[in-house]
Amino acid sequence: IPVKEEKAKEGGLSVEEEIINVVGSIPDENETVSITVVGASGDLAKKKIFPALFALYYEDCLPKHFTVFGYARSKMTDEELRDMVSRTLTCRIDKRENCSEKMEQFLARCFYHSGQYDSENNFKELDKKLKEHEGGRVSNRLFYLSIPPNIFINVVKSASCSASSSNGWTRVIVEKPFGRDSESSAALTRGLKEYLVEDQIFRIDHYLGKELVENLSVLRFSNLIFEPLWSRQYIRNVQFIFSEDFGTEGRGGYFDSYGIIRDIMQNHLLQILALFAMETPVSLDAEDIRNEKVKVLRSMRPLQLDNVVVGQYKSCIKGGVNYQGYTDDETVPKNSITPTFAAAALFIDNARWDGVPFLMKAGKALHTRRAEIRVQFRHVPGNLYKKNFGMDLDRATNELVIRVQPDEAIFLKINNKVPGLGMKLDRSNLNLHYAARYSKEIPDAYERLLLDAIEGERRLFIRSDELDAAWALFTPLLKELEEKKIVPELYPYGSRGPVGAHYLSAKYNVRWG
Ligand code: NDP
Ligand code: BG6
């Protein structure tokens, strides 16, 4: 248990110390942070974690004294790890700059220890090495579990027994999947809590670290023109759309036992929905925000099969290129019925959102890559322009679009007069296009989240009761899909997805954006 957090619970810290503990702080001269990437030889570590740590170093966001350790079973020397890591580092932040000097400095702080995931002795050896680098300072330790979920508990057990900090904090970042239903998720939580307290567990959902998702609360709670409209009175429906223009290439093995509903909807899209729909939190404190998220999740109706459409992509030849179908992947069983696409209508049974359909759509191998929140407003009652100019009210409603990626933007569709002597109307965008407005590169979600974990800021991490509430919504549906062996509707690679998604939205008088 982190010493500070333990003392704070016992009331042993001064008010000032407690505040620092809650909001987090970069450790000072006498403190050090050791970051251990468990599973350092893997895909996520190379692709996201080491580059994010370098970006934080480049931006001077890491504490003065820090060390990065890679830990995995593969045999590697420190030099080999540095060589592996260096291949994925880029000068993303400022492409004009030559950041090789900074890279060298960063790599000199990276080390490697090879060990088994369930060996307390191997973690003791790691502990010894960490201590050498910590040089007698207060040691704070962050472990990032970038490994398959079936070995999370082994690592937590060995690391907490043999390599947790004796005089600073110890925190553990856990990657998804957090189980595959309510029962397995609860078992994982119980397993983690045998060795850690909730405050030490940082469950990551990288969508919460995306710039426009973080901005959602700012947009809503700091602009008078939005908050009063944020209810069933003015909003007709809300859509959460995730689409990728590539298939499960290379990750078919993992994907086939999870499917798109668990991979994207139950976590990424539901987290955004909760932030979108929650009541105003008492403050921006992590616990206040997470309390509101739990409340709104618990007000939702569990998903029902007749409000869900599932699909799977099939092969398709386009421009002479043969795009493989999902089951053509060698790591996927030929008769797999795992959905690679799903659309769903969800409802929140509270006073603010009664009757408003929240639609979700997520799919792989579609025609485009995008993640968006689309808010469609009701029509203007007694609209003058309908009477005089035959305006189609359904098409003329305002729409707020928050484009999370790519090409981040927020735009509001409004009705406007086309300039000229006559009276002709069209739909135009009030457009906040990030690339045009802000010159600075947008940080990767993993940078934000790693920095928050180092600083002890928990706002963007998932608390266990949030996770339970999220699984409670999806578990009955997932069980029914599996028990009834529901066969997904096939859609060609690179298409807009199954037509069933349109019937579903039409049922609620919604047109997908
Ligand atoms: P990998 O499959 O690449 O595994 C990471 C490392 O874990 C491997 O290099 C290997 O290291 C060790 N490992 C792999 N399989 C086993 C096994 N069966 N038993 C013991 N050790 C094993 O995973 P990723 O890097 O892709 O992902 C890490 C975590 O992050 C997972 O929980 C994944 O679900 C999650 N995640 C990944 C994403 C991605 O884009 N890759 C995206 C979002 C989440 P060694 O053999 O050297 O010990
Ligand atoms: C991961 C999913 O959580 O998110 C992947 O497991 C998906 O299937 C990825 O491709 C998408 O993340 P991003 O940040 O590239 O949109």
- The CA-atom distances, in angstroms, between 51 and each of 12, 24, 92, 116 are 38, 23, 9, 25
Q: Which atom of ligand 2 is nearest to the CA of 258?
A: 6
DSSP string over 423-463:
-EEEEEEEEEEHHHH--SPPPPHHHHHHHHHHHT--TTSB-
In the DSSP assignment, the letter for residue 278 is P
- Going by pLDDT thresholds of 50, 70 and 90, the confidence category of residue 94 is low
- Triad 267, 69, 137: Cα angle to 5°: 110
Residue 7 has pLDDT above 70, yes or no: no
- Helical segments of 135-174, H only: 152-162
Residue 492 has pLDDT above 60, yes or no: yes
Residue with tokens 């609620």: 508
The two three-digit tokens of residue 190, written as one number: 């119980």
Mutation probe of ligand 2 site: the residue of 248, 251, 263 with most atoms within 8 A of C-beta: 263
Residue with CA at minimum distance from ligand 2 atom 4: 264
Q: Does ligand 1 lie within 6 Å of residue 149's CB atom?
A: yes
Question: What is the rounded distance in angstroms from the CA atom of residue 443 to the CA atom of residue 463?
Answer: 24
Residue with CA at minimum distance from ligand 2 atom 9: 264
- Going by pLDDT thresholds of 50, 70 and 90, the confidence category of residue 98 is confident
pLDDT averaged over every residue in the chain? 91
Mutation probe of ligand 1 site: the residue of 36, 44, 50, 210 with most atoms within 8 A of C-beta: 44
Question: What is the rounded distance in angstroms from the CA atom of residue 244 to the CA atom of residue 223?
Answer: 32
Nearest to 475 by CA among 182, 178, 177: 182
Residue with tokens 């009063």: 228
Question: What is the rounded distance in angstroms from the CA atom of residue 387 to the CA atom of residue 21?
Answer: 61
Tens-digit pLDDT profile for residues 254-299: 899 999 999 999 999 999 999 999 999 999 999 999 999 999 999 9
DSSP string over 61-130:
-S-SSEEEEEEESS---HHHHHHHHHTT----S-TTS--HHHHHHHHHTEEEEE--TT-HHHHHHHHHHH
- Going by pLDDT thresholds of 50, 70 and 90, the confidence category of residue 389 is low
Contact at 8 Å (CB) between 239 and 359? yes
- Going by pLDDT thresholds of 50, 70 and 90, the confidence category of residue 1 is very low
Q: Which atom of ligand 1 is nearest to the CA of 41?
A: 9
User: Is 65 an annotated catalytic residue?
Assistant: no
Q: Which ligand is nearest to the CA of 180?
A: 1
Q: Is 238 exposed, middle or buried (0-12, 13-18, 19+ CB in 10 A)?
A: buried
- Going by pLDDT thresholds of 50, 70 and 90, the confidence category of residue 388 is low
Contact at 8 Å (CB) between 63 and 31? yes
Give the pTM.
0.92
Question: What is the rounded distance in angstroms from the CA atom of residue 459 to the CA atom of residue 53?
Answer: 20
ω into 488 cis (within 30 of 0): no
In the DSSP assignment, the letter for residue 442 is P
Nearest to 54 by CA among 420, 451, 390, 408: 451
Residue with CA at minimum distance from ligand 1 atom 43: 176
- Helical segments of 163-210, H only: 182-193
217 Cα: distance to centroid of ligand 2 (angstroms): 22
Question: What is the rounded distance in angstroms from the CA atom of residue 61 to the CA atom of residue 128?
Answer: 26
Tens-digit pLDDT profile for residues 14-73: 433 443 343 344 456 789 999 999 999 999 999 999 999 999 999 999 999 999 999 999
Tens-digit pLDDT profile for residues 438-469: 988 899 999 999 999 999 999 999 999 999 99
Q: Does ligand 1 lie within 6 Å of residue 74's CB atom?
A: yes
Who contacts 85 (Cβ-Cβ below 8 Å, separation ≥6)?
46, 50, 54, 70, 107, 110
φ, ψ (nearest 5 deg) of residue 477: -65, -45
DSSP helix/strand/coil, 384? helix
- The CA-atom distances, in angstroms, between 28 and each of 12, 32, 254, 357 are 21, 8, 41, 49
The two three-digit tokens of residue 4, written as one number: 């500070």
